[in-house]
Homo-oligomer: A and B are copies of this chain.
Amino acid sequence: MKYFLSVVFVAHLWALSTSLTAAPAAFQPLQPLPAQPPIPPDNPQTPAKIALGKQLFFDPRLSVNGSLSCNSCHNVLAGGEDGRRQTPGAHGKPNPRSVPTLWNVAYFTAHYRDGRVDTLEQQVQDHLLSETEMGNANPAQILDKLRRIPGYVSQFTQVFGKEGLTYHTLAQAISAYERTLVTPNSRYDRYLRGKKQALSPQERRGLRAFVDTGCAACHFYVNLAGPVPGLAFQQGEGFYELFPNYVGSEYDSKYRLLDDPGRYRATGDETEKRFWRVPSLRNIAVTAPYFHNGAVNTLDEAVRVMAKTQLNKVLTEQQVQDIVAFLNSTTGEFPRTIMPRLPPSPNTTVLESSSSAP
Chain A, range 275-307, C-beta contacts under 8 Å to B: 285-286, 288-289, 294, 297-300
Q: Which residue of B lies closest to A351 (CB)?
A: B83
Which of B75, B328, B340, B350 lies in contact with A347, CB distance below 8 A?
B328
The minimal Cβ–Cβ distance linking A357 to chain B, given in whole angstroms, is: 9
Copies of this chain held together in the complex = 2
Which of B289, B298, B355 lies in contact with A355, CB distance below 8 A?
B289
Q: Please measure, in the bound complex, the distance between the C-alpha atom of A30 and the C-alpha atom of B285, giving whole angstroms.
A: 53
A161 within 8 Å of B (CB atoms): no
A274 within 8 Å of B (CB atoms): no
List chain B residues, Cβ under 8 A from A78: 59, 341-342, 344
List chain B residues, Cβ under 8 A from A337: 338-339
List chain B residues, Cβ under 8 A from A344: 78-79, 285-286
Please classify the interface of chain A as helix (H, G, I), strand (E, B), loop, or mixed, using the class held by over half of its residues. Answer: loop
Q: Considering residues A85, A298, A340, which has the most beta carbons from chain B within 10 angstroms of its beta carbon?
A: A85
Q: Which residue of B lies closest to A290 (CB)?
A: B349
| B298 x A348 contact (CB < 8 A) | yes
| A346 x B285 contact (CB < 8 A) | yes
The minimal Cβ–Cβ distance linking A3 to chain B, given in whole angstroms, is: 30
| A289 x B352 contact (CB < 8 A) | yes
The verdict on A347 contacting B334 (CB below 8 Å), with A82-B66, A289-B355, A355-B289 known, is no
A65 within 8 Å of B (CB atoms): yes
| A338 x B336 contact (CB < 8 A) | yes
List chain B residues, Cβ under 8 A from A94: 356, 358
A190 within 8 Å of B (CB atoms): no
Which of B294, B299, B338, B352 lies in contact with A297, CB distance below 8 A?
B352
Q: Please measure, in the bound complex, the distance between the C-alpha atom of A345 and the C-alpha atom of B328, giving whole angstroms.
A: 12
Which of B75, B299, B358 lies in contact with A342, CB distance below 8 A?
B75
List chain B residues, Cβ under 8 A from A300: 347
For A311-355 the 0/1 string (1 means CB < 8 A from B) is 000000000000010001000001011111110111111111001
The minimal Cβ–Cβ distance linking A351 to chain B, given in whole angstroms, is: 5
List chain B residues, Cβ under 8 A from A58: 77
| B88 x A75 contact (CB < 8 A) | no
| A355 x B85 contact (CB < 8 A) | yes
Q: Please measure, in the bound complex, the distance between the C-alpha atom of A300 and the C-alpha atom of B83, giving whole angstroms.
A: 42
Q: Which residue of B lies closest to A342 (CB)?
A: B78
Q: Which residue of B lies closest to A324 (CB)?
A: B347
Q: Please measure, in the bound complex, the distance between the C-alpha atom of A350 and the C-alpha atom of B328, giving whole angstroms.
A: 17
Q: Please measure, in the bound complex, the distance between the C-alpha atom of A302 and the C-alpha atom of B301, giving whole angstroms.
A: 56
A147 within 8 Å of B (CB atoms): no
Q: Please measure, in the bound complex, the distance between the C-alpha atom of A355 and the C-alpha atom of B297, giving whole angstroms.
A: 10
For A70-100 the 0/1 string (1 means CB < 8 A from B) is 0010011111001111111000101000000
A32 within 8 Å of B (CB atoms): no
| A65 x B92 contact (CB < 8 A) | no
| A341 x B65 contact (CB < 8 A) | no
Q: Please measure, in the bound complex, the distance between the C-alpha atom of A311 and the C-alpha atom of B269, giving whole angstroms.
A: 70
10 additional A-B pairs beyond A83-B355, A338-B338, beta carbons within 8 Å, are A66-B83, A78-B341, A84-B349, A85-B355, A94-B356, A288-B347, A294-B355, A298-B347, A299-B347, A337-B339
Can you give 7 contacting A-B residue pairs, CB < 8 Å?
Answer: A66-B82, A85-B356, A288-B345, A288-B348, A289-B349, A289-B352, A339-B339
